[in-house]
Amino acid sequence: MRPLLRFIATGAYTGFFPFASGTAGSLLGLALWLWLPLPLGQDGTFAWTTIVFLVFAAGIGVPASKLGEDEFGEDASPIVWDEVVGQWITVVAVAPSIGAAMLGFVLFRLFDIVKPWPAGKSQEWTNGWGVMADDVFAGIYARIALHFLLPLLPEVLR
């Protein structure tokens, strides 16, 4: 189990990227979103599958992040699963496009770095919860911003 949790915590080892490992984790999240898009049905089906998927991804991230903190230190740079999940939250239920990917990436990284309340405060939570929570909050903030900004992009990028 430990090797699997290490693999998850490090975002398929992207957390060992020599610089900007959080950015590498966010890019992994975008790549997976583009590669494995969740269904966008009109009957609301996507909402439940998406919610279940994100809750599972964040839930598995808590013990994975705890293991990562035990091995690498508190919120150490190799732990990037939180960035992967936060990036997914940012682009949830958005049709994949280059504009959505670029804008969602920039917005998530901005909110992840700035950490407006309560994201910054949530980092104080222990046992892997704080590692995951601040990026979940950043993903929510970025998703809200993306909702309002995406329609402003030129049609070719949407």
The reported pLDDT for the residue numbered 108 is 95
152 pLDDT band, cuts 50/70/90, is confident
- Tell me the CA distances in angstroms from 59 to 5, 82, 139, one per residue in order: 12, 10, 15
Q: Is the pLDDT of residue 142 over 90?
A: yes
- Look at residue 87 and give its three-state secondary structure: helix
The arithmetic mean of pLDDT across residues 15-22, rounded, is 90
Each residue's pLDDT tens digit, 48-61: 777 888 889 889 98
Q: Is the pLDDT of residue 124 over 60?
A: yes
Q: Which residue has the tokens 């990028």?
A: 157
Each residue's pLDDT tens digit, 56-110: 988 998 988 888 888 887 768 888 999 999 998 898 877 777 788 889 999 999 9
The reported pLDDT for the residue numbered 146 is 92
As a three-state string, the secondary structure of 85-150 is HHHHHHHCCCCCCHHHHHHHHHHHHHHHHHCCCCHHHHCCCCCCHHHHHHHHHHHHHHHHHHHHHH
The arithmetic mean of pLDDT across residues 33-55, rounded, is 68
Q: CB neighbours (10 Å) of residue 124? A: 10
Q: Which residue has the tokens 């496009």?
A: 97
